[in-house]
Amino acid sequence: MRPAFAPISRFGPVLTALVLVGGCAGSGSRSEPPPPPVTEMVPVVDAAPDRTAAPGADAPPPADAPAPRSPDAPGDGWAEATLAQMSLRQKVGQMIMPFVLGDYAPEGSPGHDRIVRMLEEQEIGGLIVSVGSPTDVALKLNDFQRHSRLPLLVGADMESGAGFRLRGAVHLPGNVPLGGATEFPPPMAVGATGSAELAYEMGRITALEARAVGVHVPFAPVLDVNSNPDNPIINTRSFGEQPREVARLGAAFIRGVQEHGAIATAKHFPGHGDTETDSHLALPVIRSPREHLDSVELVPFRAAVESGVGAIMTAHIAVPSLSGEEETPSTLAEGVLTDLLRRDLGFEGLLFTDAMDMDAIDARFPRGEASVRAVIAGADVVLMPPSVPEAADALVDAVRQGRISEARIDRSALAILRVKERMGLHRQRTVDLDRVGRVVGVPSHEAVADDVAKRSVTLLRNRGDLLPLLGTRSARVLSVSLRRDSDLMAGRTFDGVLRNRYPRLVTATLTRDTRPEIYRELALDAQRSDLVVVSLYVNWSQAASDEPLPEGITDFIAELERSGTPHVVVSFGNPYLLREVPSSRAYLLAWSGAETSQRAAARALFEGRLTGRMPIQLPSWFSIGDGLIAAPLAGDGR
């Protein structure tokens, strides 16, 4: 799904602004305690809401609520009774989940009233919420729940924790981060730790924080096996390249989510890892034979189904060996969703489409027709259709024309209603706003994210035993950061840690548009420095370009080596960038530009033992399981 970005202007009459920045194997040698035993999916809240109580009184249960009930346990009949009273149009509405921004939107504002109209006129069954602060999202979702005749099922992309969407607010012009939910390093960092325990903890914390703000379905984990280094859309969103490791860590994450009150969503079925095309922009085609898919792409999804995953999200990719067609996305292919996933793999949970406004779908099919074909293929929920009325009208017309039976609509609508019932949403649908600050982004959760970041940092090259650094306070150190124009936080935490060690630290920020003369000035500055640290804040989406790094930065790093200037290159994102800077003297993988990853990477420069190991290959360079332990001390005074 498309990330949401707010445009930023450095200059202008506005004195303050709020920027919401947001974004769809290890060595196996470490021993660790196993995660808690598997229980079933989601808890049921037994207390009926008191509509006359004070605001927030109808809050969800605390973290120590009774054990979750099995998804197969009988409910109290609310779902069946509700379905029996619904019109065809209302049942179709339950199957549609549009996008809503998580910003503050008071009553009467266009953003607020647009969703209220959908709730009242289209009677949609749920929402997918994007970037915002935890309190704004909780407040907004409470308001929309009260406007809806039936309780809403709410999803959100939370691939690296609730902070994936509910973190990143920056107050300008002071450039002050305002905090938010816990943001973990991406799944590939968890893969670098090789720890199922940490994967479970990431799922647990994601679920607790999601439910605290009113999100019931975190759209995670990503179970794509990132087997293609040139993949422009998955990359660090995957746990790694080994199917069994992705399955093992993914299953642990799923248990963590579902044992703590939320519904995990395995994505993107049948596997988006072996592609060089971004499905946001075009239709990827994976030509692997069925035998290969069984041994690679389908391994994690089969494990997820066996683990009782509550939901799966489709991939907008064509897989001819499964569908028999090169032009049909899996989202619209009955052979993939019904025959393979439902019949062969035995999946019985909710089946979400990926965002229907992505060009792999929206640029190729009429909008209403795409929704109809997704439901015929087997989808329960049509996610983010470009036009909700068009999608609903098309589905109703398809029933009246005999293309879809009303019994087929009933099956999906009833499945959605039963999930709401089992989660207790028919009894209480809003959250306690006072509880958000006691659960979301609390220090104990941030400490787990810090542990993931620390254990994931991976050292791949250390020529001349440059690392670990001594941190000599008199050393002159130059820190150069390459970032997107909109990435205001790139380098902030990393340089802050370095400055504590090196009071004479000099910093510079580069973008793709940096002029050649700036690089020439930096080269002169580097010659006067005892050490140069180059940080590359290049994420997976930027890897889609033909040139992942601008020529200026690759030439700058090559010149550092030619001139003999001691230097370290740190990748805060795309781990495959070593192919672009092969002359780097020391090369460190931090996996993301999250605050916790920046802090861990900076500290790793001074530590002698790093435990991260490669969950992927760098062809012709490094293999799965590679990772260096730096020498005890560097003796050159840096």
* Residues marked as catalytic: 280, 354
Nearest-CA neighbor of 360 among 277, 300, 431, 299? 277
Give the β-pairing of 99-100 and 96-97.
unpaired
The letter for the amino acid at 204 is R
State the chain's maximal CA–CA distance in angstroms. Answer: 79
Residue 60: partners with Cβ closer than 8 Å, 6 or more residues away: 45, 211, 212, 261, 424, 428, 431, 432
Report strand pairing: 217-218 vs 176-177: unpaired
Half-sphere exposure of 29 (CA within 13 A, CB side): 10
Give the C-alpha separation, 124 to 114, whole Å. Answer: 13
- The secondary structure of 121-164 as a DSSP string is II--SEEEE-S--HHHHHHHHHHHHHHSSSPPEEEE--BTBGGG
Buried b (16+ CB within 10 A) or exposed e, 165-190: bbbbbbebeeeebeebbbbbbbbbbb
CA atoms within 13 A on the CB side of 123: 13
- Contact between 385 and 369 under an 8 Å Cβ cutoff? The reply is no
Instruction: Report the alpha-carbon distance of residue 110 to residue 106 in Å, rounded.
Output: 9
Residues 350 and 419 sit within 8 Å (Cβ to Cβ): yes
